[in-house]
Amino acid sequence: MNKVVKLTRFELTRVLSARALQLSLGAPPLVKGTKELTMLLAAEKELSEKILPMSVLRKYPNGSIKRVEIY
């Protein structure tokens, strides 16, 4: 059973901006119908459809690091 992990607002902003930058530099979009969308909206659409191939590394005060998959 997969546990749903909620991204913090800072993680969400970082993931969306990183993907928007990738798209603006020529990376192919992973969803259809993004020609009329801005790069940021295309990144949001990829995230909402859960096909964004990224992960977040969370660093905790005790020194542990946890990898959180986006999709």
The secondary structure of the chain in percent helix, strand, coil, rounded to multiples of 5, reads 35, 15, 50
Q: What is the pTM of this model?
A: 0.84
pLDDT in tens, 8-65: 999 999 999 999 999 999 999 999 988 899 999 999 999 999 898 889 999 999 999 9
State the Cα–Cα distance between residues 20 and 43, nearest whole angstrom: 6
Annotate 5-21 with DSSP letters as a single string.
-PPPHHHHHHHHHHHHH
Domains and CATH numbers, the chain: 9-69 (3.90.940.10)
